[in-house]
A = this chain, B = another copy of it.
Amino acid sequence: MNNVTEQLLRLVADFKGSFKGAFNIREDGQCAGRQSSEHIKITSKEDGKPGLDIRIDPGTKGETVYIPACVTHSDVNDLVYNDFFVGADADVVIVAGCGVHADNEGEARHNGIHRFFLEPGAHVLYQEKHIGTGTGSLKRIDPITDIYLKENAVLEMDTVQLRGVDVSERSTTGKLEKGAKLIVRERILTDGKEWAKTVFDVSLDGEDCSADVVSRSVAKGESYQEFVSSIRGNNRCTGHSACDAILADHGRVNAQPALDATHLDAQLIHEAAIGKIAGEQLLKLETLGLTAEEAEERIIAGFLK
């Protein structure tokens, strides 16, 4: 494992020199370390595709799996397929950060295609942190996340990307069966000329399933962000999506949420708000002795917490 990887791991996966329990470290498309645990088995894919099968036994509780991936120099275009099979009633944390370091003119790129298959009653907290470092010309991350939730399964997805990634286009889909629940919290801050697009597509198929998708974004500099969501209520269900965006400098945000109710008992709600920080909020903090810049930073940090 090289130095850059170690630095990136500290940033995206709370790495402190070692991981406890099951993990796999991916470095420039290769495996730089792997460990299974008693209840969590990590194996290379057998169909020839790059990537892993992560199998979590039914009833596994309190364990964390680390699946970070790092690209440590330019001209690497990493593509990986990871499938998570989570047994019934398991309750685990999955940490899947991704760091991209560009050191010259070429593109440093990571595409992670993650599929989650949750058996009945399973619960997963999925954390995904994306970061770009280095002064190379282009850092690009395009995560695809496909989520399949069986009866009463719950997936909480917490995804963060704060500066450093030049281009990112993320796609998240969910298909929910009876009583299943999907909770998404997304936070994106772009600056400079960064470009970030995020697309959600959720099918509420089972009775009494629910989705709650909240995206908070800050667009600074000359950056551009696009939020696209589609929530389909195909049964008695509840769906909520929200996109709150703060503009600064010459940032630009485009929000395109869609709701589609095909069932009488579908209850779907969406809210979106785009604007800059209110003048009074800034003034208040400036009165307390902060500069205008510090006040803005403080408010943005609170918004993205």
| A interface list, Cβ under 8 A from B | 233, 245, 247-262, 264-276
Contact = CB atoms under 8 A, between A and B. Distances in A.
A268 B274 contact: yes
B257 A257 contact: yes
A250 B264 contact: yes
Nearest to A270: B272
Nearest to A273: B269
Contacts of A274: 233, 259, 261, 266-269
Given A247-B261, A264-B276, 18 more contacts: A245-B261, A247-B264, A248-B264, A250-B264, A251-B264, A252-B260, A254-B258, A254-B260, A254-B261, A256-B257, A257-B272, A259-B272, A266-B275, A267-B274, A269-B271, A269-B272, A269-B273, A269-B274
A6 B249 CA distance: 58
A160 to B, nearest CB: 22
B269 A249 contact: no
A252 B262 contact: yes
A118 to B, nearest CB: 27
A-B pairs, top 6 by smallest CB distance, nearest first, are A267-B275, A256-B258, A270-B272, A261-B274, A254-B260, A268-B274
Nearest to A271: B271
24 contacts: A247-B264, A247-B266, A248-B264, A249-B264, A251-B264, A252-B260, A252-B261, A253-B260, A253-B261, A254-B258, A255-B258, A255-B260, A256-B258, A257-B270, A257-B272, A259-B272, A261-B274, A266-B275, A267-B275, A269-B271, A269-B274, A270-B270, A270-B272, A270-B273
Contacts of A259: 253-255, 272, 274
A276 B245 CA distance: 30
A271 B268 contact: no
A179 B233 CA distance: 40
Contacts of A249: 264
Nearest to A238: B275
A247 to B, nearest CB: 5
